Structure 1
Amino acid sequence: MSVVIRQATLDDAQGIANVLNPIITEGLYTVLDTTFTEQEEKAFIQYFPEQGIFTVALCSDQTTVIGFQNVEPFASYTKAFDHVGIIGTFIDSNSRGQGVSHLLFQGTFEAAKQKGYEKLFAYVRSDNERALAVYQKQGFEIVGTAKNHAKVNGFYIDEILIEKFL
């Protein structure tokens, strides 16, 4: 599969929603529990932190979003965490297992270093073994478990805390 990786633009909002909303609706891979409109995604992109990184993966047609990844600053209330970013990765169900996330990680790691990040951190649902394996393949290590960290549809979910030093 030929994939193009580039920075997200406002024009990608509907494509991002098209990837994210089925994942949210399925309720198995993310703690997000509310879907997003194109306008909400546009606002998210427009006001994305300057220090952040937001990339999309496109099919070879360069119009269809098949995945995306973003890094946001860990905290804005102190400079003590300026070197730490929170990363999230979402791949369309039809594109999983085809190397899309690997390409996103390559671009994100380089961009993160250029923006001064030294460590990336993520929360992964404990029942999302596939995502955990993908992150570990990219060099992330498990640093702990947050028990009953999320409550989705009335059920508690543990989250695995992972990190990678760049």
Structure 2
Amino acid sequence: MSAISIRRAQPEDAAPLHAIYSEEAVYAETLQLPYPSIALWEQRLNTDDAHHYRLLAERAGEVLGFISLNLDAQPRRSHSASIGITVRRSAQDTGVGSALLAAAIDLAENWLRISRIELTVYADNTRALALYEKFGFETEGRARDYAFRRGVYIDAFFMARVRR
């Protein structure tokens, strides 16, 4: 198996990212709705600002996953960022999530002076919870009935990694 490479997402990546987020197993673990628009991805990737870093993972030219690092624009929270990550179902448990998360943490902590990285994860997403804990994220709270998914409300955990 060839190596995973991480790079900044570009506007021409809209189609493969749209394909990933169109997978039911993927969008069910996010706040995205089914049947996402490719125009939404084109818009996201054409928006370039200093508060959003969008990275993707690929192997042998195939896009396998995506992570966004979103810096807090409030001056008193300029040390904080949130992340959102997803990995194509067929690429889960192959190191893609670890590679994306490691790259985002490196960018945040070693280049952007971010000392707090936050995320929200569904309480039943055991794969993601294990990944985040492996990278030093800790659960800070639980939101009951956080989101509606597949006809029922689901809880979520608020997690953070704080570098002191």
- TM score, norm. by length of structure 1: 0.88
SS at match of 1:132: helix
Matched, 1:148 2:149: no
2:13 match: 12
SS at match of 2:85: strand
Deviations 1:45-84 (A, max 9, x none): 1225422221100112x2x21101111124x3x3122211
AA of the residue aligned to 1:161? F
AA of the residue aligned to 1:120? I
| Counterpart Cα distance in 2 of 1:31 and 1:51 | 20
- Unpaired segments ≥5 residues, structure 1: none
User: Alpha carbons of 1:116 and 1:19: their partners in 2 closer, same or farther (altered >3 Å)?
Assistant: same
Aligned-residue offset at 1:31: 2.9
Matched, 1:81 2:77: yes
AA of the residue aligned to 1:140? F
Out of 64, 67, 92, which is 2:65 matched to? 67
The RMSD of aligned alpha carbons is 1.8
- Unpaired segments ≥5 residues, structure 2: none
2:91 match: 95
- TM score, norm. by length of structure 2: 0.89
| Counterpart Cα distance in 1 of 2:142 and 2:151 | 20
1:55 match: 55
